[in-house]
Amino acid sequence: MNPSYIPNGLSAWGDPPLITGPQVLTNPLLNKGTAFSEHERDVLGLRGLLPPRVFTIEEQLQRTLNSVRRKQDNIEKYIYLTNLQNRNEVLFYRLVIDHIEEMVPLIYTPTVGQACLEYGSIYRRPRGMFISLRERGRIAEILRHWPQPGVRLIVVTDGERILGLGDLGALGMGIPVGKLSLYTACAGVHPGYCLPITLDVGTDNATLQDGEAYIGLKEKRARGAVYDEFVDEFVRAVKEVFPKALLQWEDFGNSNAFRLLGKYRKSLPSFNDDIQGTASVALAGVLAALRLTQSTLAQQKILFLGAGEAGTGIADLYCAAAMAGGMSEADARSHCWFVDSKGLLVKGRGDKLPSHKEPYAHDHPFVATLTEAVHALKPTALIGVSGQAQTFTQEIVTAMAKYNARPIIFALSNPTSKAECTAEQVYGWSEGRAIYASGSPFPAVTLNGQVHVPGQGNNIYIFPGVGLGALASEATEVTDAMFLSAAQTLASLVEPSDLAVGRVYPPLTKIRDVSLQIATAVADSAHRLGLARAARPADIEADIRGRMFEPTYHDYL
Ligand code: NAD
């Protein structure tokens, strides 16, 4: 009989699957491809199933890196990397981790946006689960079809608001798949515990409904009671089938995102990265910037352009931080101001405000434009989360630089083409005094001999670490306090050498250590708040480090 194997690292969390003999070649968690040794080929019965030459993992890595670089465009690189991931996960993750700055933009933003648009035509092999309205009443049964037992981490989307691309329906699957790859690469969550899910409730995208290659339900998006009952059944099924799972809500439309988070965050360990992860990474950037401005959170007046999931999420977390520092809620809210598509958010503006905007409608005369709002309020920080390109004009940046010695200006809208202003513009218009971060990466700018390195306020700095910490402690809830401690931890990891060039985030090459530190802070928070189901280990950091997936080949001897 062939011996059985537990995929490398899975035993750290329990429920390991057993695989035998030549099955290792088709299981991406076990496959080593041409790196199976002579002895392993005999023991596992692989002779003749592989070309004869045995390669080292370093040789395989060089070959795959060359192959990626030879591809002409990013979508071809994405397809190549996806196929590698489906074939050999250790090699895939070694490649991503060793070349993180080159690979992240290929496996996630910005390439993943194009990949979603083309998901129907580049779809080769199932990854993740599609659960459609047709499966109503059977969702628990469907979840049991997932071949890996003991799922711990689910990223789910309903495809309504994919990045800045709008309603992509079932094509949104690229997002949960990509986010979970980042969990493994950046925080070492074992890929065997990750489950990407797309809830297909239809789409209001007429082009997709008419398209031949569309892979989802060709019907209008469900809303109201049908939608709510479907999501409710899904949540109940997750709790029943994967009771230890943490769930991340991803790229839901505005009207559902806040509602679902509020409804389920206490009954199922879950969070929304677009709201809470964004808030945490942006607040971390502000906290790091305060080390440059030598001022405090309480001294800030923040003006946001855009009052959606990102903007109000950041403001809410700013308020949580200010209140933790002793400020009253009303006072904290009064430090955050918004301009949305209708102008400055003030009391009595005349339109009906959704609940997430209401706390920020202050007593103030209405002004219609961002320029007027900057002159009227003289904010210390300007944060762009509107999805509107080039809205931080020269006049606005110059005004910010007039009112502040070091204005904080974050243009967080993605992709690059949607940024409110570029790094070159902001440094040029502010005589190099602005502290700038962006959502998409911008190259460094040299101005009068001084190098300015823009920070990238990428959620990748936050959600993998928060998720890992919540998993390790088996937290029953992911609280705002955890996102606050994640932001404080991230800000504390910005080195003086980063600040010296104006960078308010650590380099991406440090991401695994960043995630470990954040996970440690989050797990500690869960234990202190009495929200941990796991026993508190003597050394939380060592415990988590020991569970992190390292992409090395299993020794089958
Ligand atoms: P959203 O749709 O929830 O909110 C967008 C907001 O912008 C809405 O309040 C809308 O009224 C406002 N808006 C639209 N047009 C406007 C205009 N002309 N002037 C002023 N306001 C306008 O979207 P979201 O999730 O909040 O994301 C917004 C942007 O932030 C996106 O571009 C997204 O890519 C970016 N984002 C960046 C990060 C990051 O950098 N880490 C994270 C999340 C989101």
Q: Work out which ligand 1 atom sits closest to the CA atom of 313.
A: 26
C-beta of 385 in contact with ligand 1 (< 6 A): yes
User: Quick check: 249 pLDDT over 50?
Assistant: yes
Compute the distance from residue 386 Cα to the ligand 1 centre, in Å: 3
Q: Work out which ligand 1 atom sits closest to the CA atom of 257.
A: 3
* Domain-embedded: residue 370: yes
Compute the distance from residue 306 Cα to the ligand 1 centre, in Å: 5
H helix or E strand, kind and range, residue 293: helix 278-293
The residue nearest atom 34 of ligand 1, judged by CA position, is 414
Boundary (domain end) residue, out of 414, 435, 460:
460
* pLDDT score of 58: 98
CATH number, domain of 424, equals 3.40.50.720
d(CA 65, CA 138): 43
Boundary (domain end) residue, out of 421, 444, 460:
460
* Domain-embedded: residue 212: yes
Based on the fold, state whether residues 164 and 283 are members of the same structural domain. Answer: no
What is the average pLDDT score of the chain? 94
Based on the fold, state whether residues 77 and 136 are members of the same structural domain. Answer: yes
The arrangement of strands across the sheet holding 336-340 comes to 343-344, 336-340, 302-305, 381-384, 408-411, 435-438, 455-456
Residue with tokens 């230890």: 244
* Domain-embedded: residue 29: no
Compute the distance from residue 356 Cα to the ligand 1 centre, in Å: 14
Query: What are the pLDDT digits (tens) for 252-286?
Result: 998 899 999 999 999 999 999 999 999 999 999 99
Based on the fold, state whether residues 189 and 285 are members of the same structural domain. Answer: no
Cβ neighbors of 537 (< 8 A, separation 6 or more) are 543
d(CA 174, CA 521): 30
* pLDDT score of 1: 33
The residue nearest atom 15 of ligand 1, judged by CA position, is 341
Cβ neighbors of 547 (< 8 A, separation 6 or more) are 12, 13, 188, 472
Query: What are the pLDDT digits (tens) for 482-505?
Result: 999 999 999 999 999 999 999 999
Greater pLDDT, 11 or 527: 527
* Domain-embedded: residue 186: yes
CATH number, domain of 221, equals 3.40.50.10380
H helix or E strand, kind and range, residue 339: strand 336-340
Active-site option among 5, 78, 93, 108: 108
> How many domains are contained in the chain?
2
* pLDDT score of 4: 45
d(CA 183, CA 178): 9
Query: What are the pLDDT digits (tens) for 300-345?
Result: 999 999 999 999 999 999 999 999 999 999 999 999 999 999 999 9
Boundary (domain end) residue, out of 460, 481, 506:
460
Based on the fold, state whether residues 293 and 262 are members of the same structural domain. Answer: no
Cβ neighbors of 272 (< 8 A, separation 6 or more) are 248, 249, 250, 252, 257, 260, 261, 309
Compute the distance from residue 548 Cα to the ligand 1 centre, in Å: 34
Based on the fold, state whether residues 66 and 201 are members of the same structural domain. Answer: yes
* pLDDT score of 9: 52
User: Quick check: 16 pLDDT over 50?
Assistant: no
Environment class of 541 (CB within 10 Å of its CB; exposed 0-12, middle 13-18, buried 19+):
middle
C-beta of 104 in contact with ligand 1 (< 6 A): no
Query: What are the pLDDT digits (tens) for 427-457?
Result: 999 999 999 999 988 999 999 999 999 999 9
Cβ neighbors of 101 (< 8 A, separation 6 or more) are 507, 508, 509
* Domain-embedded: residue 525: no
Find the domain containing 316 and state its range: 276-460
* Domain-embedded: residue 36: no
Instruction: Give the torsion sign (CA, 453, 456, 462, 468).
Output: negative
* Domain-embedded: residue 552: no
Residue 179 catalytic? yes
C-beta of 85 in contact with ligand 1 (< 6 A): no
Compute the distance from residue 554 Cα to the ligand 1 centre, in Å: 44
CA angle 540, 246, 355 (to 5 degrees): 115
Based on the fold, state whether residues 255 and 299 are members of the same structural domain. Answer: no
Based on the fold, state whether residues 337 and 194 are members of the same structural domain. Answer: no
C-beta of 418 in contact with ligand 1 (< 6 A): yes
**pLDDT class of 19 with cuts at 50, 70, 90:** low
> 338 pairs with which residues across the strands?
304
Based on the fold, state whether residues 250 and 283 are members of the same structural domain. Answer: no
Based on the fold, state whether residues 302 and 343 are members of the same structural domain. Answer: yes
Residue 119 catalytic? no
H/E/C letters for each residue in 468-484?
HHHHHHCECCCCHHHHH
d(CA 88, CA 551): 10
Based on the fold, state whether residues 292 and 177 are members of the same structural domain. Answer: no
* Domain-embedded: residue 541: no
Query: What are the pLDDT digits (tens) for 361-418?
Result: 999 999 999 999 999 999 999 999 999 999 999 999 999 999 999 999 999 998 888 9
Q: Work out which ligand 1 atom sits closest to the CA atom of 310.
A: 26
Based on the fold, state whether residues 374 and 244 are members of the same structural domain. Answer: no
Based on the fold, state whether residues 244 and 321 are members of the same structural domain. Answer: no
Q: Please give the structure tokens belonging to residue 46.
A: 């692989």
Query: What are the pLDDT digits (tens) for 170-204?
Result: 999 999 999 999 999 999 999 999 999 999 999 99
C-beta of 459 in contact with ligand 1 (< 6 A): yes
Q: How far is CA 469 from CA 247, 478, 522, in A?
A: 13, 10, 5
Is the overall model pTM greater than 0.85, yes or no? yes
